[in-house]
Structure 1
Amino acid sequence: MDSARTPVIDGELVRRLVAGRFPEWAGLPVERFPSGGTVNAVYRLGADLAVRLPLTESGAGDVALERQWLPRLAPHLPVAVPEVLGHGEPAEGFPWPWSVYRWLPGENPRAGALDDPVALAGDLAGFVTAMRSITLPGAPRAHRGGPLGLLDAGTRAAIAELRLLPQEGVDCDAVTAVWEEALRGPGRDGPEVWLHADLMPGNLLVAGGRLTAVIDFGCTGRGDPACDLFPAWNPLPADARKVFREKLGVDEPAWRRRRARTLSQALIALPYYRNRNEAMAGNARHVVREVLAETG
């Protein structure tokens, strides 16, 4: 939720950037790709390429992170991940580095509209298992991989804000109880592992009901192994959630810890995005409902 000024990005800017840095691609058509994301703007470049430009200064740091780690992570993972084909630098008034990727086909999974939720749960568990097994040295700190207690102040502030928004229908007493129960539990109970750390539906691609790619590794790094369980509550329904948990062998303390972390992210996102980004707000509402249904 970066407050830095977002530069004006449009197709004409993308054409100028591409022509100046990659003249071999200058004649390809440019088309904005609709996305609910808040960190990057994505443009199709011809049929096989995508241009990804950060929308904020903090998002610009993700560009360097992906350039460094994606080529090293990709061989260890069971599905496709973004492949950086070109490194763009600040130009034409655009202040940050940007990248050209190979286009990855597929659609974002939508809760309530999955073709094969149980199979997708197995695919997601396989991806998380593969991430955890990576032993590449020198890993950065995952953006969301720290102790649960670091989120306490922000979570309670969000709950207080939601109490002033009764139209959202959030049972603030119930979510507070879930949060406080997790805080009373044990902290991380195993070694830190490699995480994607942002396995939201917008960062997953599916085709024929199966996971085909995972994108946006801007939060990746080492952290609490509980931190890659977000798909359990979005987009997976309860029966597939059980399969996901069983395949990962998640014990009850870790499950409660990640459920609370996922809930925290949703609670903080909802009041912020409710009038800014309907996709993000919708994801947040869904997570709150799923968590309370599981714990109620």
Structure 2
Amino acid sequence: MTAPADEVPISADVVTALLAEQHPDLAALPVGRRHSGWDMAMYRLGDDLAVRLPRRAASVGSLEAELRWVPELSRGWTFPTQRVVRVGVPGAVYPWPWAVVTWLPGVPASERPLGVEAGPALGRALAEIHVPVPAGVEPPLNREQSVALAERGPGLASALDLVAASAAERGVRLDRAVADAIWAEALAAPVDLPRTWIHADLHPYNLLSDDGRLGGIIDWADVAGGDPATDLGFLWLSLPPDGLAAAVEAYGGVSAATLARARGVALALAAGWAVWEGEELTIATGWRAMVALGVVR
């Protein structure tokens, strides 16, 4: 699946024009290379900053949610993450809100995988993120990750069929019985935690690797309320098995029910990534997670 095209012109010249118009004290800083995700474009600005801009109209609300909630939620966080430095508004050359954030060194964990040593730091980071949503507060709803576990079932079944059909090409096979058992256990597990804040997109592209150590967590555009088991499920995509165990231990107090739900989320994510139509890095990550879950041998 190919990422959608920009719906409006976005370039280094656009970034420079926006800065000159709204934050002229930053306009002389050199604009670096572009980094593109599904929803956002990001340009490095000088040595210490970056500019984030929605690429699609559908992503504007995500940036607005990030700007609304993350500065407040992050006050007590001790892990490296991007901080909002300036907020931009629609301008003459760009129609949507945008932001200047701090730049973090490192490379995406999709390119340089996290090692076992990253597990404890990532587990502690998730424990800091997963603060219960206060009564009376309505957090953003993530249509993919704030859902009940059972809603992932149809997509999982279709993905597992495709995994089974393509496993032989990779010299492996899908153990459907193991997959079905993981999913059944996840569905049977009670939701034993209150709704918390979650990152909701904690895959390796949104984690920075510093030679295998956790260099930071980025891209809070999908921040939402949900089951903390959702973020924990992403760990199977991002860590080797020993690192995963270390993350869960450092997180602390993970019940058997929460771990079962996390494994169910991990299974749905891994199967979907394994049959992704696009970048091989994404596909390979899904297959590795399926092996770690014990459903592919």
Among candidates 122, 141, 159, match of residue 120 of structure 2: 122
Matched, 1:287 2:286: no
Contact 1:78 1:126 in 2 (8 A): no
Among candidates 198, 203, 209, match of residue 200 of structure 1: 203
Supply the RMSD in Å over aligned alpha carbons. 3.1
Among candidates 268, 271, 274, match of residue 264 of structure 1: 268
Q: Which residue of 2 aligns with 1:242?
A: 245
Deviation at 1:14, TM superposition (A): 2.5
Give ranges in structure 2 of 5+ residues lacking alignment: none
Higher-RCO chain (CA-CA 8 Å, sequence separation at least 6):
2
TM-score (norm 1): 0.83
Among candidates 176, 180, 184, match of residue 177 of structure 1: 180
Deviation at 1:63, TM superposition (A): 0.8
Deviations 1:24-64 (Å, cap 9, x if unpaired)? 222222122445x3221111111121011222333221111
Contact 1:70 1:82 in 2 (8 A): no
Note the 1:99-248 alignment, pairs <5 A: 99-109=99-109, 113-114=113-114, 117-118=116-117, 120-133=118-131, 138-143=137-142, 144-163=145-164, 165=166, 167=169, 171=174, 173=176, 176-178=179-181, 180-207=183-210, 209-247=212-250, 248=252
Write the letter of the residue equivalent to 1:50. A
Aligned-partner SS, 1:234:
helix
Q: Which residue of 1 aligns with 2:258?
A: 254
TM-score (norm 2): 0.82
Contact 1:139 1:221 in 2 (8 A): no
Write the letter of the residue equivalent to 1:256. A
* Cα separation, partners in 2 of 1:177 and 1:135, compared to 1, 3 Å: closer
Aligned-partner SS, 2:42:
strand
* Structure 2 Cα separation of the partners of residues 110 and 149 of structure 1: 28
* Structure 1 Cα separation of the partners of residues 177 and 60 of structure 2: 37
Q: Which residue of 2 aligns with 1:89?
A: 89
* Structure 2 Cα separation of the partners of residues 134 and 186 of structure 1: 20
* Structure 1 Cα separation of the partners of residues 269 and 114 of structure 2: 23
Contact 1:193 1:225 in 2 (8 A): yes
Number of residue equivalences: 290
Identity %: 29
Give ranges in structure 1 of 5+ residues lacking alignment: none
- Point out 4+ residue stretches in structure 1 off by more than 6 angstroms: 1-4
